[in-house]
């Protein structure tokens, strides 16, 4: 009998011609929280899908308590007490919380029909210890992401899970919600549940895990005790090289105020928001997810228009009703979600790059494709895009390179103000650095940059000035970034309304 509840050896999985997993190993002890780390595309998500039986491995063995098992589908793994909470919450938004919890293992009465009453009661019992605010009769789609995740946990618990897999559960949670999740995870561990915790954040790992396994480029790198490995060594294991400096040196000169946002409000999103940004300055707009930062940016960019307040560009008041007007005025936006807002995956890279500036290439009534391509190649070289050629579709690129395509799109026209909403979200460490470099260079060229970010080290490392929002209001502004600490920002982003100025 082995001491491992779950053991995977030499697992290989290919999709089409791509190896998503190339001989990976994994060992999970009973009652431990085991962190699984690696850059995006390292194969973590595929790995858990193999464990839960969504995918079948091409080769390799899986041992459950020392016994060889084959999962033909998720039902098989569920019977063995394996439950997973996936990265993108995989719920049914139109169905109620109750139904989401019991999907696939409904409680039926003796005639084989649903026993809605019993299910609701049981759902309440499961949810209660996790959160008192979730109404089990509400459709899943009306809950916040954090609440949805709690429902997923309740779902796992309803299946008497022995092994719980959490795929980046903290990625879209606020600090408070994270703490709550840590507490729940620890509770479960103490009850004997073994947890595989996939994460990007070191914070999660230090807080929870006893051991950590690292994947890189679909292969297994190693497993360490969390106490026995340094931060530096772990980064090296993940990236495959040492990062000397996480953030480039700032070289831009800060000039006059370019954009001034004065007391703007939008019902349901934010109230009385004011700040300004100067030439060559990188202004970080931070706070917790859902604080209204993205919406403020969307109001500046014309996706929505503010109900009240003024926006002044170089001293002149402007009313921006659509992104078309914003672009004309010289305001660009790098959207938060590159897949849905930034890219057209089916069209070649060059068409993506020029999609906002097509009119430049019109010659005699028609598009001059050669000029368009030439321009796109130039821009993509500047940002060191890694691609086959300029006609490849963005879907063939890695996350970081996709983000670069969106950046190139924003660079294709001259702008005064560039808003970057979570520019490094979900891209690997190496690509992050080059995005910072690009930001720095743009600032040198006189761009005023507003960066929305939730990652505090990034905010402190990149910004010249920091504005913190909480619950739709600005709660603090830090001009002296060198002497600002993560705690100060955190405090401001948790401040109650009565304390705000």
Does 390 bind another protein (CB under 8 A)? Our answer is yes
Instruction: Pick one of 66, 93, 129, 255: the residue that binds another protein (CB under 8 A).
Output: 93
Interatomic CA distance for residues 301 and 62, integer angstroms: 51
Residue 86 makes contact with another protein by CB under 8 A: yes
| Nearer residue to another protein within complex by CB, 74 or 210 | 74
C-alpha to C-alpha distances, 88 to 76, 84, 277, 332, nearest whole angstrom: 22, 12, 34, 28
Using a 10 angstrom Cβ sphere, with 0-12 exposed, 13-18 middle and 19 or more buried, the burial of residue 25 is: middle
Specify the residue, 91 or 484, whose C-beta has the smaller distance to another protein. 91
**Is 73 one of the binding residues for another protein (CB under 8 A)?**
yes
- Shortest Cβ distance from residue 211 to another protein (Å)? 27
Cα separation, 85 vs 62, in Å, equals 20
> Could you tell me which stretch among 128-136, 349-357, 445-453, 479-487 binds another protein (CB under 8 A)?
349-357
CB of 224 to another protein, least distance (A): 26
Report angle CA 288, 292, 293 to the nearest 5 degrees.
75
The structure tokens listed for 168 are: 């980046």
Among 179, 233, 347, 444, binds another protein (CB under 8 A): 347
* Min CB(94)–another protein separation in Å: 4
* Shortest spacing between CB 363 and another protein, in angstroms: 10
- Of 264, 269, 318, 258, the closest CA to residue 293 belongs to 269
Nearer to another protein, 37 or 474 (CB): 474
Residue 313 lies near another protein (rule: CB under 8 A): no
Stretch that binds another protein, among 30-38, 127-135, 169-177, 380-388 (CB under 8 A): 380-388
494 binds another protein per the rule CB under 8 A:
no
- Interface mask toward another protein for 430-469; x: CB under 8 A: x--xx--x--------------------------------
Residue 124: CB partners within 8 Å, gap ≥ 6? 136
State phi, psi for 275 to the nearest 5 degrees.
Answer: -170, 170
By CB under 8 A, the residues from 99 to 138 that bind another protein are: 99, 103-104, 106, 108, 112-114, 116, 137
CB 274 within 8 A of CB 479: no
DSSP letters for 255-277: -SEEEEEEEEEETTTEEEEEEEE
319 in contact with another protein (CB under 8 A): no
Token digits of residue 15: 């999709």
What's phi and psi for 213, nearest 5 deg? -115, 140
| In the complex, least distance from residue 491 CB atom to another protein, rounded to whole angstroms | 20
Q: Are 220 and 25 in contact (CB under 8 A)?
A: yes
**Per CB under 8 A, does 179 bind another protein?**
no
CB of 483 to another protein, least distance (A): 28
**What is the nearest approach in angstroms of another protein to the Cβ of residue 90?**
4
3-state secondary structure 199-263: CCCHHHHHHHCCEEEEEECCEEEEEEEHHHCCHHHHHHHHHCCCCCCCCCCCCCCCCCEEEEEEE
- Indicate which single residue of 179, 233, 324, 444 sits in contact with another protein (rule: CB under 8 A): 324
């Amino acid at each position: 009998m082995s001491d491992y509840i779950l053991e995977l050896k030499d697992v290989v999985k290919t999709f089409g011609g791509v190896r998503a997993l190339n001989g990976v190993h994994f060992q999970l002890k009973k009652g431990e929280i085991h962190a699984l780390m690696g850059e995006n595309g390292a194969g973590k998500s595929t790995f858990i899908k193999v464990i839960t039986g969504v995918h079948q491995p091409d080769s390799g063995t899986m041992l459950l308590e020392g016994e060889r098992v084959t999962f033909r589908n998720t039902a098989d793994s569920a019977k063995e007490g394996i439950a997973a909470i996936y990265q993108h919450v995989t719920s049914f938004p139109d169905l109620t919380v109750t139904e989401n919890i019991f999907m696939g293992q409904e409680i039926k009465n003796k005639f084989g029909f649903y026993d809605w009453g019993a299910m609701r009661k049981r759902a309440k019992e499961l949810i209660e210890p996790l959160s008192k605010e979730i109404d089990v009769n509400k459709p899943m789609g009306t809950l916040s992401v954090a609440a949805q995740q709690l429902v997923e946990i309740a779902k796992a618990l309803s299946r008497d899970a022995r092994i719980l897999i959490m795929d980046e559960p903290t990625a879209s949670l606020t600090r408070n919600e994270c703490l709550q999740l840590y507490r729940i995870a620890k509770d479960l561990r103490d009850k004997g549940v073994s947890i595989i915790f996939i994460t990007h954040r070191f914070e999660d790992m230090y807080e929870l895990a006893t051991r950590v396994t690292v994947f890189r480029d679909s292969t297994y790198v190693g497993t360490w005790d969390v106490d026995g490995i340094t931060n530096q060594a772990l980064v090296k294991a993940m990236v495959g090289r040492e990062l000397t400096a996480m953030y480039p040196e700032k070289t831009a000169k800060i000039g006059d105020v370019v954009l001034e946002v004065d007391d703007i409000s939008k019902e349901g999103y934010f109230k009385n928001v004011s700040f300004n940004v100067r030439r060559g300055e990188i202004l970080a707009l931070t706070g917790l997810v859902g604080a209204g930062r993205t919406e403020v940016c969307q109001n500046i960019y014309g996706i929505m228009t503010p109900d009240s307040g003024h926006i002044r560009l170089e001293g002149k008041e402007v009313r921006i009703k659509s992104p078309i007007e914003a672009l004309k005025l010289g305001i660009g936006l790098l959207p938060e979600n590159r897949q849905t807002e930034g890219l057209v995956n089916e069209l070649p890279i060059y068409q993506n790059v020029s999609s906002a500036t097509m009119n430049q290439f019109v010659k005699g009534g028609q598009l001059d494709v050669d000029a368009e391509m030439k321009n796109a190649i130039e821009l993509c070289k500047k940002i060191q895009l890694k691609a086959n050629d300029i006609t490849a579709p963005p879907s063939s690129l890695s996350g970081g390179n996709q983000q670069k395509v969106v950046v190139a799109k924003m660079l294709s026209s001259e702008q005064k103000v560039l808003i970057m909403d979570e520019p490094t979200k979900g891209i690997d460490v190496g690509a992050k650095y080059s995005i910072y470099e690009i930001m720095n260079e743009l600032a040198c060229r006189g761009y005023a940059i507003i960066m929305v970010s939730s990652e505090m080290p990034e905010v402190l490392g990149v910004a010249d000035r920091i504005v913190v929002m909480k619950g739709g209001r600005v709660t603090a502004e830090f001009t002296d970034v060198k002497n600002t600490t993560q705690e100060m920002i955190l405090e401001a982003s948790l401040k109650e309304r009565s304390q705000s100025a």
